[in-house]
Amino acid sequence: MNKVKFIYNPYSGENSIVNNIDKVIKIHQKHEYTIIPYRISMKFGIGRAFEDFDEDYKYVLIAGGDGTVDNVVNYIKNNNIDIPIAILPTGTANDFAKFIDMPMDVEQACKQIINSNIREVDLGKINDKYFVNVASMGLFTDVSQKTDINMKNTIGKLAYYLKGLEQIPNFRPLKFKVTSKENKFDGEIYLMLVFNGQTAGNLNFAYKASLDDGFLDVIIIKTSKPGDIIGLLFDMFKGNHLDNSSSLIYYKTDEMIIESDENIVTDIDGEKGPDFPIKIVCIKHGLKVLGIKNK
């Protein structure tokens, strides 16, 4: 018997998966897979989804955003469950799913998953927690955590932008010390992003990122003159390459230590991350994924 554990977040995005569950079941049945659904909520966590786990399960199908994917990945890694994941991008933020070219249409995504081969991709880890897309720290990084869930579900990404505007008065330099084999930085920054994926909020920041090169892409936005920062942000939002900017550091590493005495939070794909100091590493080929197109 070929079973698929289908873990879905009914509140992700605009509740789109709720109206597409029959499609998911129908397509899988056509290919001789039996869908075993599990609906996550505040009361029913991800752990209970695996109470019936056995060797008949072929993969875990996750319907939700990056945060939901992270939660499932953390559970299977911490419990030594060696099974591929597949993603239906139905959340407000689906950056990692877009990085692996998953269609937004549920039916197309299911077909792409079923007709694909398993790929081993890199996985980020920050202290004792795994992440699939990006760890961030500095200005704007707690926007997702402070945005009301009902607001997210009602107006989507606009909710993040509106919340971000509230933080503009807090725009100030932050003291950071970053240490890795490739680079050492000790100074003031506005924002730091460590990518296992490529995009954040649909913006292609880590344009050098690869799925399986064994490295994370690090972007540090240093403090600078207001005009330089505005120009840099404009280039970032346009998707321009940033190698020549004096206000930005971009490099790859597989391990780093970040220290700061600032009273700020870290963020992992929209969820609160650990306090400083933090160690971030790349686990090469640390995650099995279905649905990735061969390029």
Query: Across residues 78-93, what is the average pLDDT?
Result: 93
Cα angle 269, 113, 110 (rounded to 5 degrees) comes to: 90
Give me the chain's average pLDDT, please.
86
With cut-offs at 50, 70 and 90, classify the pLDDT of residue 207. confident
With cut-offs at 50, 70 and 90, classify the pLDDT of residue 205. confident
Higher pLDDT, 210 or 200: 210
The confidence score (pLDDT) of residue 31 equals 97
In this structure, how many other beta carbons lie within 10 angstroms of the beta carbon of residue 97? 27
Is the separation of the CB atoms in 273 and 266 below 8 Å? yes
Residue 97 amino acid letter: A
The CA distance from 294 to 221, in Å, is: 33
Query: Across residues 59-66, what is the average pLDDT?
Result: 96
Cα angle 180, 185, 190 (rounded to 5 degrees) comes to: 120
Dihedral in degrees, nearest 10, Cα atoms 158, 163, 169, 172: -90
Please say if the pLDDT value at position 164 is more than 50.
Answer: no
The confidence score (pLDDT) of residue 173 equals 84
Query: Across residues 17-28, what is the average pLDDT?
Result: 95
Query: Across residues 183-198, what is the average pLDDT?
Result: 94
For 10-14, 36-40, 126-130, 194-198, which range has the lowest pLDDT when averaged over its residues? Answer: 10-14
21-35, 154-168, 264-278, range with greatest mean pLDDT? 21-35
Cα 242 versus chain centre, distance? 22
Specify the pTM.
Answer: 0.87
108-117, 194-203, 260-269, range with greatest mean pLDDT? 108-117
The confidence score (pLDDT) of residue 154 equals 44
The CA distance from 251 to 192, in Å, is: 12
Label residue 72 exposed, middle or buried (CB < 10 Å: 0-12, 13-18, 19+): buried
Sort residue 270 into left (φ over 0), alpha (ψ -120 to 50) or beta: left
The confidence score (pLDDT) of residue 96 equals 96
Token look-up 């490529």 returns 198
Higher pLDDT, 243 or 127: 127
Q: 280: Cβ–Cβ under 8 A, 6 or more apart, which residues?
A: 124, 125, 126, 135, 194, 216, 255, 256, 258
The tens digit of pLDDT for each residue in 115-157 reads: 999 999 999 999 999 999 999 998 766 555 555 545 444 434 4
With cut-offs at 50, 70 and 90, classify the pLDDT of residue 238. low
- Cα–Cα distances (Å) from 248 to 45, 74, 82, 112, 210, in that order, read 40, 31, 38, 37, 20
The tens digit of pLDDT for each residue in 38-54 reads: 999 888 899 999 999 99
Please say if the pLDDT value at position 178 is more than 50.
Answer: yes
Q: Which domains are assigned to the chain?
A: 3-115 (3.40.50.10330), 130-284 (2.60.200.40)
Please say if the pLDDT value at position 257 is more than 50.
Answer: yes
Question: pLDDT above 90 covers what percent of the chain?
Answer: 64
Query: Across residues 86-103, what is the average pLDDT?
Result: 93
For 163-167, 238-242, 280-284, which range has the lowest pLDDT when averaged over its residues? Answer: 163-167
For 20-29, 48-57, 87-96, 162-171, which range has the lowest pLDDT when averaged over its residues? Answer: 162-171
DSSP string, the chain: --EEEEEE-TTSTTTGGGGTHHHHHHHHHHTT-EEEEEE--SSS-GGGGGTT--TTEEEEEEEE-HHHHHHHHHHHHHTT----EEEEE-SS--HHHHHTT--SSHHHHHHHHHT---EEEEEEEETTEEESSEEEEETTTTHHHHS-HHHHHHHTHHHHHHHHHTTGGG---EEEEEE-SS-EEEEEEEEEEEESSSEETTEE--TT--SSSS-EEEEEEE---HHHHHHHHHHHHHT---TT-TTEEEEEESEEEEE--SS--EEETTEE-PPSSEEEEEEEEEEEES-PPP-
122 half-sphere exposure, CB direction, 13 A CA radius: 25
With cut-offs at 50, 70 and 90, classify the pLDDT of residue 91. confident
